[in-house]
Amino acid sequence: MNSNHVAMTSPKAPQPSAEMHSKKTVSIDKTFSTAHPNVPSTEDVVLDAMRRRLSQAGRSESEPFCVMDLGKVQSQYERWQSSLRFVQPCYAVKCNPDSKVIALLDSLGSNFDCASQAEIELVMQQGIPPWRIIFANPCKKPSDIAFARDSMVLRMTFDNEAELRKIKRICPSAELILRCYASDPSATYTLASKFGAHPEEAVKLLKLAKSLGLEVCGVSFHVGSGSKDPRAFERAIQESRRVVDAGIHLGHNMYIVDIGGGFTSDTFDAAAVRIRASLSTHFSAMNIRFLAEPGRFFVADAVTVACGVIGRRDAHENPTTLDGPVNDMLYLNDGMYGTFLTYFFELCPQPKALRVSGAFYPQSTAAESSKYILWGPTCDGLDCILKDAELPKDLSCDDWIYFSDMGAYTTCLTTNFNGFTSQREIIYVFSRTSETTPRKCAEVEDVWH
């Protein structure tokens, strides 16, 4: 196996152009390395950025802010390359559509998975050519298909007859990828009830595409966002081979297998082992290009959110409930209708103290702690971030705390509910996690915006 293909017989896959793998080098002001002693750790780099932000005279402290560590994004990309080098990643832009993340991943060699005209425009604004984009939304607006056609973004997915006929009408030159059914019931968000053609239907769709004069060039699947069972990839890859064979039999030039997303930092290694074995078992004699659509795997660990305390209510002020005494309460300037919206559906990270009574943390001596209920700033009773956060006992108004691992489906889901702004100030830093990490980042020179 080389970096792009598994050796094969037939059919022959079109070779990517030189431009497809061109890389851009981008600059950065400061690069820290944890490979050497006496150099700040990745967490220290982020903490330093937050301290600097809160120490700037005249800067407002009324709104939450974020620190994006692009070094962690690069570290995760290198981890992908180490384990799945022959699978071309197409970053799922929806997960975190940050232009600097896109620029960095572009410079490292990633392609991109877009789901709408706006996402395609965002990616192409970074100078990324259309052939490095897959329009991976199985049900697209007609106007978005027309925009993709005019922009030469021709590789797109489908999973039903109506979508095929829509594409035939608007973009008959499309290079189609058939989205097939796959499911990991244990995933954080399952997608099988919404997308994916079942095996019998997949063959019917391949036949219909042929009769319409449309070219199907491959198959894709998605086991679910935040997959927890690596065996789900094995099952989906095995079924993909059957669909590929059916397409070849019908005369389609099937040269792409897209294994979708669902990757998390915790389960990636186990999933990669099974993916490598399954692709080798089922596609070892075929000239197939393998794609994937990682999103949260690249960015989940890269963002830290800093929140200010805007109010406090002590436990003695709260009535005792049937479950016993209520914890002390803190009210923050961010909440479930802001950066934390995704945590209506998944486990929220535990916070740490950033600044208490004017002193920045961590401190050399451990502070006495207390359990808190953390509320967001809105008037909605559902705006509760956590009910058991352990933080220093003397937290009060104007103190600050922070949450790590907030890079996936957070800043892109903020709302203006109750009049609170959906905009987030983002500070970009670049920590290095290995001595060999090159300087590739999107212009980080005290970037505040």
From 364, 369, 338, select the one nearest 351 (Cα to Cα). Answer: 369
- Among residues 379, 384, 397, 441, which one is catalytic? 379
Name the band, by pLDDT with cuts 50, 70 and 90, for residue 40. low
CA distances from 310 to 62, 142, 189, 334, 399 (A): 9, 46, 33, 10, 8
At 104-146, the pLDDT tens digits run 999 999 999 999 999 999 999 999 999 999 999 999 999 999 9
At 182-220, the pLDDT tens digits run 888 877 888 777 888 998 899 999 999 999 999 999 999
Q: What is the mean pLDDT of the chain?
A: 87
pLDDT at 273 over 50: yes
pLDDT at 9 over 60: no
Name the band, by pLDDT with cuts 50, 70 and 90, for residue 8. very low
Lowest mean pLDDT among 3-12, 78-87, 371-380: 3-12
At 302-330, the pLDDT tens digits run 999 999 999 999 988 877 666 666 889 99
Q: What is the pLDDT of residue 57?
A: 84
Q: What pTM, to 2 d.p., does this model score?
A: 0.87
The share of the chain scoring above pLDDT 90, in percent, equals 73
Span 32-67+300-432: which CATH code?
2.40.37.10
Name the band, by pLDDT with cuts 50, 70 and 90, for residue 359. very high
Span 97-294: which CATH code?
3.20.20.10
CA angle 32, 38, 44 (to 5 degrees): 55
From 155, 154, 199, select the one nearest 180 (Cα to Cα). Answer: 199
Distance CA 50, CA 44 (A): 10
Q: Locate the domains of the chain by residue range.
A: 32-67+300-432, 97-294
SS3 letters across the chain: CCCCEECCCCCCCCCCCHHHHCCCCCCECCCEECCCCCCCCHHHHHHHHHHHHHHCCCCCCCCCEEEEEHHHHHHHHHHHHHHCCCEEEEEEHHHCCCHHHHHHHHHHCCEEEECCHHHHHHHHHCCCCHHHEEECCCCCCHHHHHHHHHCCCCEEEECCHHHHHHHHHHCCCCEEEEEECCCCCCCCECCCCCCCECHHHHHHHHHHHHHCCCEEEEEECCCCECCCCCHHHHHHHHHHHHHHHHHHHCCCCCCEEECCCCCCCCCHHHHHHHHHHHHHHHHCCCCEEEEECCCHHHHHHHEEEEEEEEEEECHHHCCCECCECCCEEEEECCCCCCCCHHHHCCCCCCCEEEEECCEECCCCCCCCEEEEEEECCCCCCCCEEEEEEEEECCCCCCCEEEECCCCCCCHHHCCCHHHCCCCCEEEEECEECCCCCCCCCCCECCCEC
At 429-448, the pLDDT tens digits run 999 754 444 444 433 333 32
Active site residue 379: yes
